[in-house]
Amino acid sequence: MVKQGQISLLIPSTIFIAFLVVPISAKNPLFIFGDSILDAGNNNYIQTTSFAQANFYPYGITFFNFPTGRFSDGRLICDFIAKYANLPLILPFLQPDNGLINGVNFASAGAGALVQTYPGLVINLHEQLRNYKKVESKFRYKFGDVKARKRLTKAVYMFSIGGNDYSSSSTFLTNYPKSEYVDMVIGNITFVITEIYKTGGRKFAFLNVPPLGCMPMARISSIDGDCIKEPLSYAILHNKALSYVLKELQIKLPGFKYSLYDFYTSLQQRIDHPSNYGYKEGKVACCGTGRFRGIMSCGERRPVKYYELCENMKDYVFWDSAHLTEKTYKQLADEMWNLRSYGSYNIKDLFH
């Protein structure tokens, strides 16, 4: 749990199986919270650094044919999940005329569960919760209290958060023992979940934290090019704690259901065995420069202007130094839709 006085509670060997994905008829809204894994363009509308934005070429070149603010060459996991749930693309909260009825995307690239993670540059998890409560109020105004709560209860709440809390360069990270720091991150996530639960939310879908030390941007600081152990250790501790907390919430909160997708393991398998999943390269990014193309230079809008762009992004697991190609996101979305990594639900179950 979060300890008072430390942080504010008011706070982004395997063979690939091709799943048959059949969209189902659904009226369940999808609300999306998190970081760059799920940000569909909220950071286009805030004053931040170019590191936290992807609204320039060559981002978005495959599916959209223009940059949308997504950190990929195309669609993200949440875009595919919306498609499989028979929903349109879920638009960013800050995008004018974003609709709201089918759900809202609150995610912000660079966001963490802690307010101390990139403060002032991102929409942190507490701010995302505050934006959700604005939408809740609009639902109540539009549908009335009873119908609004019913709609919010039918909704699915999707999260990818925590990675930036452990990869932030802030000295705040080093001020606490590992286990205590992880407890603070998990405590803030738990607070947000319970606040959404109070509004009627019952169905939650989570991605755990990926193998942070194996990203191209992490490998460049390794002499031998191996994964960096320190961020990996934080990710492992976080994922164990998240799994435990969700089981506890399922016991304590009546009607609480969750899906927890093992993002860490699924991505690690593709990094280590790319050919098993239809890739030629699992460690080098498609877009960037330096070793493993691990320097965040994709698009010439960042301090390092020079970048290289691969010929075929479908050969690559990674799009840039910290994010994945559309092909990878689709594979992961297919698994998240169908597989039950932890608990008794997959995200398809939640939409039923």
Enzyme catalytic residues? 36, 320, 323
**CA distances (Å), origin 243, targets 9, 240, 246, 335, 341:** 20, 5, 5, 18, 11
d(CA 203, CA 197): 9
> What pairs with residue 230 in β-bridges?
none
Tell me if the bond preceding 231 is cis, omega within 30° of 0: no
Burial class of residue 173 (count of CB atoms within 10 Å of its CB; 0-12, 13-18, 19+): middle
Run of H or E including 278: none
d(CA 341, CA 264): 11
Structure tokens at 324: 């994945």
d(CA 32, CA 213): 25
In 165-280, at which residue ranges do the beta strands (DSSP E only) sit?
A: 203-207, 257-261
Q: At 298, is the secondary structure helix, strand, or coil?
A: coil
